[in-house]
Structure 1
Amino acid sequence: MRRIFALCGVTAALLVAGCQAVNTTTGDSVGVERKQYMFSMLSTDEVNQMYAQSYQQTVSEASSKGVLDNSSAEGKRVQAIAKRLIAQAPKLRPDAAQWQWDVNLIKSDELNANCGPGGKIIVYSGLIDTLKLSDDELAAVMGHEIAHALREHGREAMSKAYGVQMAKQGAGALLGLGQDSLALADTVVDYSLTLPNSRANENEADLLGLELAARAGYNPNAAITLWQKMEAQGGGSQPEFMSTHPASSNRIASLQAAIPKVMPLYQQAPKG
């Protein structure tokens, strides 16, 4: 993080759009306090809009193939859980109340789920069916994914990558890359969904997702059984989720330590 800040300082005179410090999460109970450094040339709205185009393409393709599954009992279940989680998101990030949230279940053997920039959520039925997820465990998955979006981890990773690119090739080359909207849109998708998150970002998503689910009335202890199921799922059916959310030896221990902090929120929250 200090390296990125230094890169911005060195090239500030060359860039019209520079580096800004932002704190995208407020009011959390789990102690996630970290300034994030983002290039202002990659605004939140721009990243959200570019991702929305890719998301809509995915949804449209699923619909044309007949695998968009929002009207089944399982689809309605996903929608209901998402509704409760989304209602609590502004308590962690107030402007999330203005996001154009969207939720879709896709019938697929893929063991995956994600929430892209701006609150675009996709859950694949294989994850639910193969791991036999309870509502609480599904809320833990979705809460974790929503937390990545609330913290703009994809945009942050892009900013780091562009900082390195800027240092290597100069501000002119970087700005030239930024002018290619198609390449930039592809980069948004890559850094938002398909590339592994850093350990720090994973820890933030774990903790904030835990709090979000608790505020929505889902048992925080389900996060433990969720990751136990994830790690136990081996062989050729290893969850795709695990490739972008790698497990670490202290992940469950960190969650267990945070559960007492959010348990009062769960106990106070309306259930159902």
Structure 2
Amino acid sequence: MLGRSQSIPWGQRILLYAFLMIVGAVMAYPFFFMVTTSLKDNQSTFANILAPFGPSLEWANYQAVLSTINMGRYMLNTAFITICVVLGQIFTSVMGGFAFARIKFPGRDALFRAYLGTIMIPFMVVLIPTYKLMLLFNWVDRYESLIIPWLFTAYGTFLMRQFFRNIPNELEEAAVIDGANRFTILWRIFVPLSMPAIATQATISFLYAWNSFIWPLVVIHNKEMYVVTQGLADLQGGYHANVPYIMAGATLAILPTVLVYILAQRYFVEGIATTGLK
């Protein structure tokens, strides 16, 4: 890769870098606009909406969104739900991926294909049956309805299975000779070697759980139980004429996902590359 980039003439490299900088600036501008608008007052926003800043930085917008509009409570609810979903999906994906990759049992491949096929089922198809289950269990307006149905993921199981299949058999055989059982092999050998894949799964699960909107909208009616996406919708409906408030809420909602992706980016790319996904 390095030799290939050095062989490109310097003139073409300059044009390439300039093009990439322009593309990057175009993609980053909406986020820049969102943050800067959140720090303006409403009057200066409508006076010149393209101006990067107003007469002063209005940090009070964030204070109002967090306290008055209760976005802080919504973010805490979402953080708790997201952490539970991420940890649950990692646990079930590691266990399922190990079973499908390393344990031979009758019907293993057929069962895996059937489980993987559930990815093709649209969420709207299972929305009503799942909601009826929540009513049966009396889980409406409770954390259980936002956590337990999403503890299992076919994509995560597939991701971990692909990674576990690439681990040499010699490591497992050596552990068996030393007297290790399957759980010891999994948690002492496979899991430490699979941190890139686990980080990838954690990132994907975090983004999905944090940004979930349709399902919380269906099963959560009590405002004290709202998640951040419901809070944003409520904010837009109640303060549609106050653009800085809406942008401040959007900034608070998107900030955790950006930080998680930045911190896990190296593991995310490595995990995708080492599992053979295209």
With structure 2 as the length reference, what TM-score do the two structures score? 0.28
Q: Which has the larger radius of gyration?
A: 2
Q: Which has the higher contact order (CA 8 A, sep 6+)?
A: 2
**Which structure is higher in helix share?**
2
